């Protein structure tokens, strides 16, 4: 089992619903976020292009954050989901510095927090909150090892990229382009 997410940049309108839904689902304190929207504009008026991406932890196969964690708080869960165990975390911030995607933040309660792929929802057979709420249905989630999962199917038929592949992290959030 290998959980992954694919996000269609052609459909995403950058509304940030994924961000709000994540915050309310996961009790993320106001002023912090586990996911965010990036908008990249290219060209000059009127020859323009925008790529809009909803970004989050890439749940990498080769996660620098897990490697550098001195206490084992950062670890892999089932399906390759990268998690932090709050009570093991000493808040040293090594993982924050090591993450090329800047996907982690220091929670005011003293531990490092990040996207969990809503593992509490996945275990109940639900979609992550961001995927479930997205008005454009631009996010696909599922098991890469299952050829019939939404994410496997869409990655089979669409061109995609990952972010900062040169970091060698083997990310599992894919962007359809």
Partner 1 sequence: MRFTASEGSLRTPTYCEVCFWQCAGWVYKNDSGEIQKITGNDDDPHCNGRFCPRGTGGVGMYHDEDRLKTPLIRTSERGKDTFREATWDEAFDYIAEKLKKIAAEHGPECVALFTHGSGGAHFGHLLKAFGSATISAPSFAQCRGPREVAFITTFGDIIYSPERTDIRDTRCLVLIGSHLGENMHNGQVQEMSDAIDKGATIITVDPRYSTAASKSKYWLPIKPATDIALLLAWINVLIENEWYDKEYVEKYTTGFEQLKAHVQPFTPEWAYGITTIDPNVIRETAREMRNASPAVIVHPGRHVTWYGDDTQRLRAVAILNALLGSWGRRGGFYNPEKMKLPDYPVPPFPKPNRMPQDAYQGKYRLANEVVSNGLCDATIPSVERECNIRAWFVNGTNLMAALPDQQKTIDAINALDLLVVVDTMPVEITGYADVVLPECTYLERYDMIRQSPHREPNIALRMPAARPKYNSKPAWWMAKQLAGKLGLEAWFPWNDLEEVLDWQLKQIGSSLDEMKRMGVKKFPRSYDDLYFAPGEEVTFNTNSGKIELYASDLEAEGFAPMPVYTPHEEPPEGFYRLNYGRAPVHTFSRTANNPNLTDLMDENTLWVNPKVAKLWGLKTGQYVKLKNQDGKVSTFAIKVRVTERIRWDSVYMVHGFGHNNPRLSRAHGRGVNDTELVTRVHVDPVMGGTGMRGNFVTFITDEPTDGKEAGS
- Interface residues with partner 1 (CB under 8 A)? 10-11, 13-17, 19-21, 23-25, 27, 30-31, 33, 41, 43-46, 48-50, 52, 132-138
Least distance from C-beta 100 to partner 1, angstroms?
Answer: 24
Q: Which is nearer to partner 1, 20 or 92 (CB)?
A: 20
Quote the least distance from Cβ 78 to partner 1, whole Å: 25
Paired tokens of 54: 């909803």
Smallest distance from partner 1 to CB 81, Å: 21
Sheet (strand 160-161) strand order? 139-143, 3-8, 173-176, 160-161
Whichever of 24 and 62 has its CB closer to partner 1, that residue is 24
- Which is closer to partner 1, CB of 46 or CB of 125? 46
- Sheet strands (E) in 77-129: 82-84, 105-106, 112-113
| Surface-to-core class of residue 153, CB atoms within 10 Å of its CB (0-12 exposed, 13-18 middle, 19+ buried) | middle
Calpha distance 92→106 (Å, rounded)? 9
State the minimum distance, in angstroms, from the CB of residue 162 to partner 1: 22
CB 34 within 8 A of CB 21: no
Question: Judged by CB, which is closer to partner 1: 104, or 121?
Answer: 121
By CB neighbour count within 10 A (0-12 exposed, 13-18 middle, 19+ buried), where does 174 fall? Answer: buried
Q: How far is Cα 175 from Cα 56, in angstroms, rounded to an integer? A: 12
Residue with Cβ nearer partner 1 (133 or 144): 133
Least separation in angstroms between CB 50 and partner 1: 4
Other residues' Cβ atoms within 10 Å of the Cβ of residue 150: 18
User: In angstroms, what is the minimal distance from the CB of 168 to partner 1?
Assistant: 31
Q: Which is nearer to partner 1, 23 or 74 (CB)?
A: 23
């Amino acid at each position: 089992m290998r959980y992954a997410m694919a996000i269609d940049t052609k459909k995403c309108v950058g509304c940030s619903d994924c961000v709000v839904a994540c915050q309310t689902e996961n009790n993320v304190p106001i002023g912090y976020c586990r996911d965010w929207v990036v908008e990249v504009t290219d060209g000059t008026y009127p020859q323009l292009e925008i790529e809009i991406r909803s970004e989050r932890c890439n749940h990498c196969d080769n996660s620098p954050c897990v490697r550098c964690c001195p206490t084992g708080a950062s670890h892999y869960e089932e399906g390759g989901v990268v998690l932090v165990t709050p009570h093991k975390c000493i808040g040293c911030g090594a993982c924050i510095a090591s993450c090329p995607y800047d996907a982690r933040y220091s929670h005011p309660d003293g531990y490092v927090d990040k996207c969990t792929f809503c593992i509490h929802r996945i275990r109940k057979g639900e979609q992550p909150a961001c995927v479930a709420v997205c008005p454009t249905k631009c996010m696909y989630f599922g098991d890469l090892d299952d050829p019939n999962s939404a994410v496997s199917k869409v990655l089979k038929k669409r061109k995609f990229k990952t972010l900062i592949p040169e970091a060698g992290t083997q990310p599992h959030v894919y962007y359809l382009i």
